[in-house]
Amino acid sequence: MIVKTMKFGLPEFSTKPFDGKKLLDTVEQILAGDSTRRKQKSEISSLRARFDRLTPDEREVMGLAVSPS
């Protein structure tokens, strides 16, 4: 069960009997992490959409602007 828990990305494994406070803290931690991942995914999606709207010339200029000298 511990391996399955880790594969799902859960930060902790709890056994019975559950400590109510610890369980709530873990759920809050999971929700906060999920919120962060969703925000990052949304930002990346927005950037990708903006990049996709660039013309080939604009993409070339952007590539030159962000490449190390």
Q: What is the pLDDT of residues 7-36, one digit of tens each?
A: 666 666 666 777 788 888 888 888 888 899
CA torsion through residues 39, 45, 50, 56, sign: positive
What tokens were used for 56?
A: 């080939």
pTM of the predicted model as reported, rounded to 2 decimal places: 0.57
Phi-psi region of 27 (alpha: psi -120 to 50; beta: other; left: phi over 0): alpha
On whether the CB atoms of residues 13 and 1 are closer than 8 A, the answer is yes
> Mean pLDDT across the stretch 39-57?
96
- Give CA–CA dist 44/35, Å, rounded: 14
